[in-house]
Amino acid sequence: MRRFWALLSHQLQLMFIAPPTYVAAFLFLSFMAIMYSLGLLDVSGGEGGRSPMQTFLATFWVPVLFMVPLLTMRSIAEERRMGTLEALMSTPVKAWQVVLAKYLACYFFYAFLWTLTLAFPVITALSVPQARLDPRIFSVSQMVTGYSFIFASGAMYVAIGIFSSSLTRSTLVAGMLSFCILFLAIVGAQLLVKFSIPGEGILAWLQGPAEYMQTFRHLEDFSASLFDTRPFFLYFSSTIMLLAITSLVTEHKS
C-alpha cells in the first residue's frame, strides 16, 4: 500500500499544478455562481416554484461536460504519449494501482470544486439573515440529498473520463471521447425513453432499464429531498466496472 499512497500523493500534486485544472475550476465556479444568482433572482421576484438550489442543481450536467474532460484527459493519455507510463509500469506497481491513484486524484478535485459551491447558500444566509427562515432559499435537507447525488454520479463521470484517457495517446481525442460518452451517459437514457422505445414489441424490454438509468429523474428526486438508494448502486457499480476495464486496457497497452 505504500507504493499506492506514493502514487496518489504524486497524482494529487500533478492535479494542483496542471493548467487545465485551474481552467476547469474557473469555468465551473463562474458558471455555477451565475446559475445560483439567477435562482435567487427568481425567488426574490416571486417567479417559479423552484428554490435556488433546485435551479442550481438542474444545470449540473453543463459544467460536468467540460469539467470532467479537462480534469481527466491528461491522466493516462499524456503519460502514454510521453512514454512515462511504460516506465511506471516497469516498477513494482500494478495497473489497477496506477488507475485507482489517477482516478482518486481526479475525483478528489471534482468533489473539492463542488464542495466550494456550498459557499453560495452559506454566503446568502449570512448576508440576508431572513433567508435562513425561507426553506426555498436555505434547506439543509435539500442540500444534503442534492449533493449526495452530485458526489455519487460524479464517481461514474470521473471514471468515464479516466477510461476515455486510457484508450488513446492524444489528450485532445481523450477529451472529445470523454465529452461524447458523458453526454450519452447523462441524456442518452432520457432521449431513448422519449423518442425510441415503443410500449410494445421486441424493444419493449429496454424501457425498464432506460427508466432506471434516467439521470434527470434521479436529480429530480434528490433535489426534492427524496433519498433513493437505487441510483447509488447504478453509479458505484458502473464506476467499479469502468475502473476494472481501464486497468485491463492500461495493462494491455503498456
Give the start-to-end residue ranges of the domains of the chain.
2-253
The pLDDT value given to residue 122: 79
State the pLDDT confidence band at 80, using cuts at 50, 70 and 90.
Answer: confident
Question: Burial code of 153-180, b = ≥16 C-beta within 10 A, e = fewer?
Answer: bbbbbbbbbbbbbbbbbbbeebbebbbe
| Separation between Cα atoms, residue 192 and residue 23, nearest integer Å | 33
- What's the pTM? 0.86
Q: Which residues contact 254 (CB under 8 A, 6 or more apart)?
A: 80, 85, 86, 89, 95
| C-beta atoms surrounding 14 within 10 Å | 16
- CB 43, CB 52: distance < 8 Å: yes
- Per-residue pLDDT tens for 98-148? 899 999 999 999 999 999 988 888 787 777 666 555 666 667 777 888 888
pLDDT tens digits, 186-238: 887 676 666 655 555 555 555 666 666 777 777 777 777 677 788 888 899 99
Backbone torsions φ then ψ of 116, nearest 5 degrees:
-60, -30
CA dihedral 4, 242, 160, 233 (to 10 degrees): -100
Res 16 pLDDT > 80: yes
pLDDT score for 47: 56
| Residue-wise pLDDT tens digits, 34-79 | 888 887 777 666 555 667 777 778 888 888 898 899 889 888 888 8
Half-sphere exposure of 82 (CA within 13 A, CB side): 11
Q: Tell me if residue 202 falls in helix, strand or coil.
A: coil
- Position 41 scores a pLDDT of 77
As a whole number of Å, the CA-based R_g of the chain is 20
